[in-house]
Structure 1
């Protein structure tokens, strides 16, 4: 074990903020200086190497420098290990004890913890056999306590809507003013929008990845590397990380692109294990409107709905059929399937009932040709767009009428009045504390009056919220917003595409080869707008010309039929 009366020592230094280390006292330099001072007083110990694990927790022994040191021990190049104290060696009670009591004696290694006055060659009393395990237990408990406090602190910040990730989500950068907030990265955000657009147009995740790779768009990993971030991707396989179907799917399912902060999706089993486990969705931490949205909530929901549809792809081009997943049989309510019939060198495409195809006795043999279906769907959608376009103009006209402006002004006056009332009670509540502090009122009176003021303030805030919602309804025409634009922006359509179908249609029911029923999206919003117009007309004295237009719109079917 010894040669020429000398021990061949490795000094071991460890520092980790995860353990709650005080940087001033446990810095690498401080530990090194302390150990070198000890070596000067012990000339029989010669330092042959120094091993430093900077940034590694003591709750496990899977540390690079520690492992290198143990390899030197096994090669008999080191037979003495010196640390500042037991906590620098490790904070796991059982593993630390195993090394000190079993591993090191077996390998004839002298172990010294300076500040704990422990030296395995000199400390052999029964008292040491009790004190050392006790100190290890304290270090272990301290590490557990720090871990719980750190996790609790992170959860508090997450619930406030602060971003706690080390690296920003692709599409965002951390704000220079506040690193806990996210701001849009214009270039990456455009890529995100393209991904959602292509998905709506019928591209599969794999096809979207191919398009991005073909256009030379850097994958999130490579883009972050180019931006100078020391980012490591757990999904990276190849030397140069390219876009993959998995990356696209993760982006399409990430609600954070709608401005919602979603964190706490996974966590460690306990403070000793680094492995992360996924948490149930009801345990995620969600905070609305913490950052600017790249994708609207409507678009995100639409893409989620598309994922539930049948996504069989067109042969050769990796694009989904326009009617895939939205076409249903009126008799059995099951889906219709695409079938190609070849006759005399020509190809004909039909849709037939999937139930009938599987068993001819369970449904009827009705079908519709792809050509007839597209023609009919186009006509019905154009008709619906026309109706909603008329509704849009009618809503604009009503909002400009005197009665509408008068009603808004009344609501606005009530909002101003309520805000003044709220300010008055807030001032009273603030002054109340000053009166209590100056001894003008007793503590019991202060608590009672404070509670009354808080109740009143809460009531006023609720009333304000109702008035603001009402004012918003008067301004927007009860839901006149993005859903109307989704229809009117397609007023010049000449053909049926996958994007048109999934954006405007929930499902298409085939009754027979000459009749279909289209169930459009946004029916609740459509009904709300109709009700708003109807109520507005009741308060309009002169509505000549408006009633007839409204009857045309109201007479239009909610679900197109041809």
Structure 2
């Protein structure tokens, strides 16, 4: 007796018509007509057909591979997928597994060649429909961008998103989002611009902010990268003709009329949600609704100073002598330790070097006071520690057993997976809701969709922050299944060869087994954190 799998999908949770229950009822009726009353039901509600990243669809596919059913039936082809490649791949895999596919509405059956061909043709039109909707959504987004509306994403520090409502010519209520000021944050931004022009370097501004314990919006310490982004962001400038000329000289254009009041937003920077950045020439610069806070003369002077500093910045990021560069952390504050060079030493024919806490250096010793550590001494001590571990095999196994037991007792990995799944599902629902917004002209319905998008976006933001915290917690646990023999073999390899190889080979050997090194300059104690 054959067993069937019924798959049903609905994009919108509230949509009428071909509801989940109706789809299932029609499939059951079709199966009864061909003498099949044994079936499994898989249903996804609230998921788009643009891809197959749906929980019940994936469960159904797993069931097919485990031969839990003999045929797959759905109400319509586009319930499976609107993507031709996904649909074709599924049909091919089902054929290899010996599983037939039936579509009730189109009356197609893959048990014959004509049925397979007609289904692929129909799936082409399903994808065309989806891509047409996608183009419409993109065009609508561009139209909103051209008006300087805020379309979402990471809000610049100093602003928040605010919805504005209005009545159009047809008497319908409409709304859009703009940036509105957060005054206490904007004061910090203004101070950063003034400090940079006064002090002349990102390092000095960073030091000032660290010394005075001035934090970012998220309560983090400022970094030079974050400061550079703030200082080059046109969202803060009061755009006038001189600003337009500045961008024009760079081969860029700005949409909108400059008035010396409003700031500039940049759109079309990224390729998709998870893609990289587009070429700068493809970015869309638009004069926005929000007011800038930095006058054009000051902003342009800042850009000039940034460019000058970039051109003369020394290349001090790589050490050719330090073995532990990139691995070593301050035992007191856990900041990275940087390499600092002293006077030339004729005996060793090179400059002495030291490991220095970066937070201590950047804050002028106000945030950390860990003493500098002689680099040669610390490198030698780390190697001796590794040699000691390789010799004392029983001690090493004891350490690794304790680590593995602690890891097994942790539920962090399961929680990370659960949060990741929730974020993925929310993104799928957001994508579907955006499609629905583009297809409705009813303002009340559109507002319901937009409110739901806002809720899901906020939820994903909180989930992402929690996910980041959990991943940071597990960053010390890179190798979650420990291979004792492999680790011991690597340590033995270091013991045999580390004294005879060159600096680059030593660095590779050490980084192959060490995750981090924590050093205390006051006590001289060092702690090695091995990979796994």
Q: TM-score under structure 2 normalisation?
A: 0.44
